[in-house]
Amino acid sequence: MIKVSIAMIVLALWGGPAFGEPAKPGFASVDMNRDGTVSLAEFATLFRTESVKGFEELDRDGDGRLTAEEYAQMSPRLMVAHR
């Protein structure tokens, strides 16, 4: 019984974000005005200002807005820290 529990814990940790890394908020929670994109202002309300570089890296087309697809490319390591 204990072996099964340990295996389940290992699998749960293995499939999730690395230990100590913050979880990335969902796209819908960052798209505060619900227009289907995330502006730099919306992004900056949830992430530290050091993350602006990360925003610029994610904004592949350079339009100043992140689509859901662009946002999905953000890894927990890319964002500096969730406030």
Residue 5: burial class (beta carbons within 10 Å; 0-12, 13-18, 19+): exposed
Structural domain 23-83, CATH architecture: Orthogonal Bundle (1.10)
For the chain, domain boundaries? 23-83
What letter does residue 22 receive in the DSSP assignment? P
Given this model, what pLDDT does residue 82 score? 41
Element (H, E) at 56: helix 52-58
55-83 pLDDT per residue, tens: 888 999 999 999 999 999 887 666 544 44
Integer Cα distance of 6 and 69 in angstroms:
35
pLDDT of residue 70: 94
Q: 1-21, pLDDT tens digit by residue?
A: 455 455 555 444 444 555 555
Which of 6-20, 28-42, 44-58: highest mean pLDDT? 28-42
